[in-house]
Structure 1
Amino acid sequence: MQEINSLISSFIKELDYEPILQMYERISTGKMLRSKLIMAIAGSSENAINLCAIVEMIHLASLLHDDVIDEADTRRGTPSINALYGTKDAVMLGDVLYSKAFSKLSGFAPEISNKISNAVAGLSVGELMDVRLGDGFSVDVEAYWRMIYLKTAILIEASAYSAAVLAGFDADKFGVYGKSLGLAFQIIDDVLDITQSSEVLGKPALNDFSEGKTTLPYIYLYERLGESDKERLKSLYKKSLSYDEVMWLKKVMRESGAINECVNRAKTLAAEALEAISEYKNEKLQSIIKNMIDREF
């Protein structure tokens, strides 16, 4: 992971503008799931490491723009770039990372460069869908699935597919793994926003609901509530929640079974991911799934 971060820094240094590097070094890089996935499939060859750096730059760029759209002050428990430097710098840094990533991506075979490029276009559409769905409380589950596929899963899918191309494996099967992993990952993230404390999350608990995000637990919850509770749920949407309101939401989430249904849906997707690549018997990919699913919610 350190080698990947160093490579990204070297790419940015090629631009010969110190403020860009200074801002990049303030970004919290997170767990680098996509890089772990690429290396679990393709190893740590020079091409694989370069692909990791490209995908991480794309992912970081999307998060920078996401934080601007959400007016987020923190990212993974640390101040966001827009909070530190302002929205203009955050947007431009995202643009720099996107542009540099595409510059480096152009050196890869068309099968890989096209897959990653199309994923980035889809990612942007998913972000726009997320914003539009947040205009009002949405229970459109089909729109939710399409949105999280584009916003979250499509780049994970493209990463796994491209890594398989590098390794000479069946890329379509690894694409299925990546897509299913990405969908499950987003569902688990939706659940953790409700079940975990603010200290663990590095942001306020139930932040998704307060910010107007469309997430699966609330869709499932709405389907199970009586009419009066449905109205109460809608009235709390995009609102700064009081302690009593937070406790009510957590209570009805548990009692309704909405959380359990989300976790079970994620587990089904995880099983589909592993089935797609079962012939390869890749323990690292099995471990990625296991660490995501086998936990307390």
Structure 2
Amino acid sequence: MEALAHIEAKINEFLKELESPLVLALSANLQRGKMLRSKLALQIAGESEECLLLCAILEMIQSASLLHDDVIDDALTRRSKPSINALFGNKNAIMLGDVFYSKAFCELTRFASKYPEIPRIIANAVSTLAVGEMEDVELAKSFNDEEAKYLTMIEHKTAALIEAAAYAAAFLAHKSREVAEDFRIYGRNLGIAFQIIDDVLDIISDSKTLGKPALSDFKEGKTTLPYIYLYAKLNDSDKMRLKNAFGCDLSPMEQDWILENLQTQGAIAQSIALAKSLGNCGIEAIANHSCDKLIQIMREMIERDF
């Protein structure tokens, strides 16, 4: 935990350099999450000043993406607390996200001479992440029943930065390009599996644990993987019923019907099975690199309940 505190301190240092009391005041209300990308980088590259810098950059980029995400989704909470857009409005949330992005890229230039691969890896990931955000918005326009489209979107929106964290950290640890590729595969699989489990938790976790009401994704117009699997198993009449419920405030009866079918039709179990399969493939990619802690991280992210 000490390393994570150092990362937080480094982010605060970067923000203070901007000499903006407004930025500091708004940033003080940010809800920091699991810091998965930092934990990943630290396990691969070790706790050096260079790795702490990389982690601070990754966390600032992640915060920026979430600030923008909350505006796009009209989300009023983030981890059970009011979101920045709820507290200070959409304009401030967007601009604070821009501040975090631009400051992160400014600090990223420090790696250019010694580790030229790292700025390109991170920059490409941010471009991919933005594409994923656009794909998410496009998919939300109607009920999506295509698994491939959804998996592509979460690979871009969620997995890209986790993949980049593992890949960049491997270069920071002076791994060969071939070995770095193994860590990249691990990171990508971790990212996709992580998002699938998030999708499942939106359905099966109670609202207190999750920090938002159950079935929030579906009500907000997101056809996540369990609903795609459920749709494929329903008869024509029930398929229409599920589609008609998409993006709506659900009555207790309709919510119970969806929850019951997600369980009885095996859509939840099928989603978890895919996450576990991806996790195992990620673990296999690094099997020859003595990475017990990374195996543990993968399993914890798949078996978590929040």
Q: Structures share a fold, TM > 0.5?
A: yes
User: Partner letter of residue 104 of structure 1?
Assistant: E
Superposed CA offset, 1:173-212 (max 9, x none): 0000000000100100010000011111101110000011
Residue 178 of structure 2 is aligned to residue 167 of structure 1: no
Displacement, 1:241?
Answer: 1.3
> 1:113-124 maps to which residues of 2 (within 5 A)?
113-124=119-130
Q: Select the residue among 213, 216, 220 that pairs with 2:225.
A: 216
Match of 2:301 in 1: 292
TM-score by length of 2: 0.95
Superposed CA offset, 1:24-65 (max 9, x none): 110001110000000011111000000000000000000000
Gaps of 5+ in 1: none
> 1:1-297 maps to which residues of 2 (within 5 A)?
1-108=4-111, 109-169=115-175, 170-295=179-304
Gaps of 5+ in 2: none
User: Partner letter of residue 8 of structure 1?
Assistant: I
Could you tell me how far apart the structure 2 residues matched to 1:295 and 1:77 are?
Answer: 17
Could you tell me how far apart the structure 2 residues matched to 1:112 and 1:232 are?
Answer: 48
Displacement, 1:295?
Answer: 4.8
Could you tell me how far apart the structure 2 residues matched to 1:10 and 1:242 are?
Answer: 48
Displacement, 1:110?
Answer: 2.0
Q: Contact 2:201–2:305 (CA<8 Å) still a contact in 1?
A: no
Q: Contact 1:153–1:180 (CA<8 Å) still a contact in 2?
A: yes
Displacement, 1:135?
Answer: 0.4
The count of corresponding residues between Structure 1 and Structure 2 is 297
Could you tell me how far apart the structure 2 residues matched to 1:279 and 1:179 are?
Answer: 18
Q: Contact 2:70–2:85 (CA<8 Å) still a contact in 1?
A: yes
Q: Contact 2:205–2:305 (CA<8 Å) still a contact in 1?
A: no
Q: Contact 1:130–1:214 (CA<8 Å) still a contact in 2?
A: no
Query: Comparing 162-171 with 123-132, which one deviates more in the overlay?
Result: 162-171
Q: Contact 1:221–1:256 (CA<8 Å) still a contact in 2?
A: yes
TM-score by length of 1: 0.98
Could you tell me how far apart the structure 1 residues matched to 2:38 and 2:24 are?
Answer: 21
Displacement, 1:144?
Answer: 0.8
- The alignment yields a C-alpha RMSD, in angstroms, of 1.0
